Amino acid sequence: MTKPVLLITRKLPAAIEARAQRDYDARLNPMDEPWFRSGAEIARRATEAKADGILIAAGDPLNAETIAALPASVKGIATFSVGYDHIDVKAAKARGITIMNTPEVLSFATAETAMTLMLMAARRAGEGERMVRAGKWEGWAPTQLMGVTLEGKKLGILGMGRIGRELANMARGFRMEIHYRDINRLPPEAELGATYYGDDDSFLAAIDVISMHVPGGDATRKWLNAERLAKMKKGSLVVNSGRGGSVDDAALVNALSSGHIRAAGLDVYDGEPVVFPGYFGLENVALLPHLGSATIEVRDAMGNRALENLDALLVHGKAPPHAVG
């Protein structure tokens, strides 16, 4: 039996590439060459290979133009991510192409990253690490790099989905109060005593830390803008491990520069891998390179989930378990 042709745009964990080669006529990108940044090149390679499926990753530009240029042979596109705002799902659906993602397997790891950023911002860990590496540390001092404790602080979780709930569980171990803003209120057994807010203003005024876990798209674009930042308490912390586009970078830089926002921790950026240049001159922002799901265990799980989706569609002719749109 002829194996389906699968174009893989990125270098993936070894076990995932081995599985793909076993079950597919897999066209790999072993050196992670940057052709994946060009939608036209992805479409060209898919056409050349007569691909039945494509396995992409977060940020690969599967916009309407790219979708239109794909060959008729493509039946499904799996993204190595939970988010799929880099894909024009409507355009894919119009062409009969199924889009699939990898939910559930990375919630804990992404919450870990949010917790890491929260601690880095609160305890000035980035500043301290840079001081030591630069050879500028002259020993312990009573007033050196004084941050704030998380104990007793009100953590505001924007988006109480899987990741938000995992973060809430971690934060309870730091004796934080859990507050959250979402479209709908959770049932009591899922809230676990967390305080729900049905409007932005009361939510922002109540919290000491905001951690953002909202999906991308027009509805959340630049949600954390100057107006909303001004409604937060002076000295608050901002953490974003969700979507870079949900923060107005210029507004956050201004708030960090003025001291209205004490510190921030960011793992995602609008227009990655480009980072808003205003952040680089600030000591009170911790910047990570999109590490949210970057554990060995999670990346293997993501790859297996992506291939399970493709197997269902391309090998077994069934509906994939994690189709979107």
Domain borders along the chain are: 5-105+296-324, 107-287
Annotated active-site residue 290? The verdict is yes
Domains 5-105+296-324 and 107-287 share a fold: yes
Cα 84 from Cα 299, distance rounded (Å): 17
Query: Of residues 10, 44, 221, 290, which has the active-site annotation?
Result: 290
Q: Name the residue among 207, 215, 216 with its Cα closest to residue 180.
A: 207
Q: Are 70 and 46 in contact (CB under 8 A)?
A: yes
Q: Name the residue among 216, 114, 105 with its Cα closest to residue 169.
A: 114
Distance of CA 226 to the CA centre of its chain: 22
Q: What DSSP string runs through 219-273? A: GGTT-B-HHHHHTSPTTEEEEE-S-GGGB-HHHHHHHHHHTSEEEEEES--TTTT
Annotated active-site residue 272? The verdict is yes
CATH of 107-287, one of 3.40.50.620, 3.40.50.261, 3.40.50.720, 3.30.2130.10: 3.40.50.720
Q: Are 155 and 179 in contact (CB under 8 A)?
A: yes
**How far is residue 193 from each of residues 91, 203, 206, 250, measured CA to CA in Å?**
42, 16, 16, 35
Cα 255 from Cα 96, distance rounded (Å): 46
Q: What is the pLDDT of residues 4-36, one digit of tens each?
A: 999 999 999 999 999 999 999 999 999 999 999
Q: What is the pLDDT of residue 184?
A: 96
Mean local confidence (pLDDT), 110-114? 98
> Could you give the strand order of the β-sheet that contains 25-27, starting from the edge strand earlier in sequence?
25-27, 5-8, 53-57, 76-80, 98-100, 323-324
Query: Of residues 17, 191, 272, 308, which has the active-site annotation?
Result: 272
Q: Which CATH class name applies to 5-105+296-324?
A: alpha beta
Annotated active-site residue 213? The verdict is no
Mean local confidence (pLDDT), 298-305? 98
Q: What is the pLDDT of residues 181-215, one digit of tens each?
A: 999 999 999 999 999 999 999 999 999 999 999 99
Q: What is the pLDDT of residues 23-81, one digit of tens each?
A: 999 999 999 999 999 999 999 999 999 999 999 999 999 999 999 999 999 999 999 99
Half-sphere exposure of 101 (CA within 13 A, CB side): 15
Q: What is the pLDDT of residue 160?
A: 98
Q: What is the pLDDT of residue 217?
A: 87
Q: What is the pLDDT of residue 216?
A: 86
Query: Of residues 27, 213, 243, 262, which has the active-site annotation?
Result: 243
Split at pLDDT 50, 70, 90, the class of 142 is very high
Please state whether 183 falls in left (phi above 0), alpha (psi between -120 and 50) or beta.
alpha
Mean local confidence (pLDDT), 254-271? 97
Residue 325 has pLDDT above 90, yes or no: no
Q: What is the pLDDT of residue 1?
A: 73
